[in-house]
Amino acid sequence: MSTRVVATSLFRQFSSVRVALQPIWTQRRNPDAPRQRYFSVSSRAQASEGDQYHAFVEGVRSSPAMQKIAQNKEAMDALQEVAIIMQKKGVDLSKRPSMFTMMKVVSDPEFRAAAEKTMEVLKKAGVEMDRELIMKMFSPDVEKNTVHSQSYAARRKNHTNPAAVALLEVMERKKSNLCVSVDVTKKESFLRIIDAAGPSVCMVKTHIDIIEDFDEDLVVQLTELSKKHDFVIFEDRKFADIGNTVMLQYSSGVHKIASWSHITNAHPVPGPSIIKGLASVGLPLDRGLLLLAEMSSEGTLAKGDYTNEAIEMARAHRDFVIGFIAMKRLGTSARPHEDFLILTPGVGLDTKGDGMGQQYKTPREVILERGCDVIIVGRGIYGKGDGAESEVIRREAERYRSEGWKAYEERVVA
Q: Which residues are known catalytic residues?
A: 238
Burial of 169 by CB count in 10 Å (0-12 exposed, 13-18 middle, 19+ buried)? middle
Compute how many other C-beta atoms are within 10 angstroms of the C-beta atom of residue 108.
16
**CB neighbour list of residue 117: distance below 8 Å, 6 or more residues apart:** 78, 81
Which residue type, as a one-letter code, is found at position 112? R
Three-class DSSP category at 253: coil
User: What's 32's DSSP letter?
Assistant: T
Residue 319 · residue 288 · CB < 8 Å = no
Q: Tell me the C-alpha distance between 188 and 328, whole Å.
A: 35
Q: What is the C-alpha to C-alpha distance for residues 111 and 117, in angstroms, rounded to an integer?
A: 10
- Cα distances (Å, whole numbers) of residue 91 to 11, 82, 102, 413: 10, 11, 9, 23
Distance CA 286, CA 321 (A): 12
The one-letter code for the residue type at 299 is G
200 burial type by CB count under 10 A (0-12 exposed, 13-18 middle, 19+ buried) = buried
Count of CB atoms within 10 A of residue 383's CB?
15
Q: For the chain, first and last CA: distance in Å? A: 10
